[in-house]
Amino acid sequence: MNAWLLGAAVLLVTLLGVGIFAFRGPMFDRLVGLQLASAIGTLALLLLAEGYGRDIYFDLAVVLAAVSFGGTLAFVRFLERWL
């Protein structure tokens, strides 16, 4: 196991904790958990891509970085206006 995969493993464990956090507690705490999970998930994908030498994982990381922004922003606007 190289440093990339070791880092990815640590981040995936962290992602599990943040994921549990995003399922519990008040509404906006969950939203912050979702934001953090998006960033950590993207980092884990980058590490996995480099660790396994798979180009497609880099594409996934790029797409996740862009799409998670739009998704979280949609949640933010929804919570701000209607809840």
* Site residues for another protein per CB under 8 A: 3-4, 7, 10-11, 14, 17-18, 21, 26-29, 31-33, 35-36, 39-40, 42-43, 46-47, 49-50, 55, 58-59, 61-62, 65-66, 69, 72-73, 76-77, 79-80, 83
Structure tokens at 52: 């396994």
Q: How far is the CB of 71 from another protein (least distance, A)?
A: 10
Q: Which is nearer to another protein, 23 or 36 (CB)?
A: 36
CA distances from 74 to 10, 60, 63, 67 (A): 29, 21, 17, 11
